[in-house]
Amino acid sequence: MEMNDMVVISIDDHAVEPPEAFIRHYPAAQRDHAPRIIDRNGQDVWLWNDTIYPTIGLNAVVGRPRSEYGMEPTRYDQLRPGTFDPVARVDDMNANGVLSSLNFPTMPGFAGGTFIAAATKAPDEALLAVRAWNDWHVQEWCASAPGRFIPMIILPVWDMTETLAEMKRMSALGVHAVSFSDNPAQIGLPSIHNEYWEPFWKACVEYRMVINCHIGTGARAMHPSNESPIDAWITAMPITIANSAADWTFASFWKRYPELRMALSEGGIGWIPYFLERADFTFEHHHEWTFSDFNGERPSDLFKRHIICCFIDDQFGIKNLDYLNADMVAYECDYPHSDTVWPNVPEYLWASVNALPRATIDKITHQNVMREYSFDPINALGGRANCTVGHLRELGKHVDVSPRHGLGGLKTDSMDVVGQARRPVTSGEIQRMFASA
């Protein structure tokens, strides 16, 4: 097998909603209630429910030279069109050799947290927004290129009746994935151990929907101090989901729903072998007084059967697949965020997997995703020959992937200083930058 023979599916990317995404999917009589883009002091910001949401791009810096990364573009003309235009996104996927992509929201938050927070005061408005985002995502973004996008929805989780109704509605449109907080107790909802979620687990199994828990949707990476280099926060960010992973691993509902599946999105895989070792040690040494019960199995057995893990560039994790379950490992590109290796995904990926058996490469690059997400782009696009890295890059050879300079956006003082000594950007500077936005 060669690099160009791979078929690559990513289960963690992000879509930036275009300015009229919500408006087009609101009932005509209520369109003035829809989230919309307005100009505020030269910046494109979202206005919804009498509140300004300035994060239009949220680190969508793909295509910039790394020296010009900021934390967030502030206007659409600072974004690569593939961030918000599905046609341009497919072009960028072709140039990157990526066949299919699952995309998390931006304006609503990765798991709809913007609308969940608003629902405490305006549940009807939040429900309208959730439904409109789902309709835009499924009927516009995903429908624009069958086989290229894995549809995933957000839910009005503050209302279980409406949640189940939305899952049924979207299931009829072929949706098999839902975005969900990695720790709902951290955002004012019942914990995953609460009986409130029982109908949700049942519906996920009934509709064969994978629960996708993105880092930062519940538990969040803490800044060590305001003076700490921001690199420390960026480094630890993926691993912060380990706390939630432990919570999910020791949950009891898996016994009742053996077909239930969830994914740790953007969490990486290199830390998981030790995590599983520690979970098994904890169970062996403590279950006699904690009364945890895995029906004769170990925590690692449950984790390996139910939880999908994905990676961007994780050579240590790939070298330790024997301590994972190769049937539950998948790839992620993270387009358009600053961790993405676009347009060089095949090169990075091949450097990690080239020594593996072809059958294992096929599993972690696309087969596991196709099985668990009930998604078959190979059939939709007329066979594997039309889906390989080599074929897609031939389709995308017209795409300009050269770095785009001088686009602007939010920067810290240490980024902007010209002709002076550079110094490390700190956590405090980044936090102040977002506060001032």
- Mean pLDDT, the chain, rounded, equals 94
How confident is the model at residue 254, as a pLDDT? 98
Going by pLDDT thresholds of 50, 70 and 90, the confidence category of residue 318 is: very high
Whether residue 35 has a cis bond before it, omega within 30° of 0? no
Query: pLDDT digit string (tens) for 68-91?
Result: 887 678 999 999 999 999 999 999
Query: Which domain CATH number covers 180?
Result: 3.20.20.140
**Domain around 328:** 3-436
Does the pLDDT of residue 419 top 90, yes or no? Answer: no
Does the pLDDT of residue 251 top 80, yes or no? Answer: yes
Going by pLDDT thresholds of 50, 70 and 90, the confidence category of residue 431 is: confident
The pairing of beta strand 210-214 with beta strand 177-179: parallel
Does the pLDDT of residue 66 top 50, yes or no? Answer: yes
How confident is the model at residue 437, as a pLDDT? 64
Does the pLDDT of residue 25 top 60, yes or no? Answer: yes
Query: pLDDT digit string (tens) for 152-167?
Result: 999 999 999 999 999 9
64 or 432, greater pLDDT: 64
DSSP 53-84: E--SSSS--TTS-GGG--SB--SGGGS-GGGT
Strand order in the sheet with 36-40: 36-40, 43-48, 51-53
Q: What is the mean pLDDT of residues 387-406?
A: 97
Q: Which helix (H) or strand (E) holds 308?
A: strand 307-311
Per DSSP, what are the bridge partners of residue 43?
40
Give me the number of domains the chain comprises: 1
Query: pLDDT digit string (tens) for 174-232?
Result: 999 999 999 999 999 999 999 999 999 999 999 999 999 999 999 888 899 999 999 99
Structure-block tokens of residue 98: 């990526």
Going by pLDDT thresholds of 50, 70 and 90, the confidence category of residue 436 is: low
Give the C-alpha distances (Å, rounded to integers) separating 182 from 78, 262, 325.
31, 10, 21
**Would you call 326 helix, strand, or coil by DSSP?**
helix
Does the pLDDT of residue 45 top 50, yes or no? Answer: yes
Going by pLDDT thresholds of 50, 70 and 90, the confidence category of residue 418 is: very low
Interatomic CA distance for residues 55 and 64, integer angstroms? 18
CB 112 within 8 A of CB 158: no
Does the pLDDT of residue 368 top 70, yes or no? Answer: yes
How confident is the model at residue 72, as a pLDDT? 73
Q: What is the mean pLDDT of residues 112-134?
A: 98
CA angle 89, 90, 95 (to 5 degrees): 95
Structure-block tokens of residue 412: 């810290």
Structure-block tokens of residue 196: 């409130």
User: What is the SS3 string spanning 134-160?
Assistant: HHHHHHHHHCCCCCCEECCECCCCCCH
% of residues, the chain, pLDDT over 70: 97
Going by pLDDT thresholds of 50, 70 and 90, the confidence category of residue 416 is: low
Interatomic CA distance for residues 287 and 166, integer angstroms? 39
% of residues, the chain, pLDDT over 90: 88
